[in-house]
Amino acid sequence: MDESALPLRDVTVVSLEQAVAAPFATRQLADLGARVIKVERPGGGDFARGYDETVKGMSSHFVWLNRGKESVVLDVKDAAGRAVLHRMVGRADVLVQNLAPGAAERLGLVPEELRRRHPRLITCGISGYGDSGPYRSKKAYDLLVQCEAGVLSVTGTPDEPAKVGISIADIAAGMYAYSGILTALYERERTGQGTDLSVSMLEALAEWMGYPYYYATYGGTPPPRTGAQHATIAPYGPYTAGDGHQVFFGLQNEREWAALCTHVLRCPDLIEDERFARNSPRVENRDELTALIEEAFADATAAEAVRRLDEAGIANARLRSMEEFAAHPQLAARDRWRQVGSPVGPLNALLPPVTVTGREPRMGAIPAVGEHTDAVLAEFGEAPTVEGGP
29, 347, 373, 377, 380 from 84: Cα distances, Å: 23, 33, 11, 8, 7
* SS3 track for 147-215: HHCCHHHHCECCCCECCCCCCHHHHHHHHHHHHHHHHHHHHHHHHCCCCEEEEEHHHHHHHHCHHHHHH
Residues with Cβ within 8 Å of residue 200, at least 6 apart in sequence? 126, 127, 128, 129, 130, 173
Among all residues, which ones are annotated catalytic? Answer: 230
CB count, 10 Å around CB of 102?
Answer: 11
- Which helix (H) or strand (E) segment is 333 a member of? helix 329-333
Burial of residue 89, with CB atoms counted within 10 A of its CB: 0-12 exposed, 13-18 middle, 19 or more buried: buried
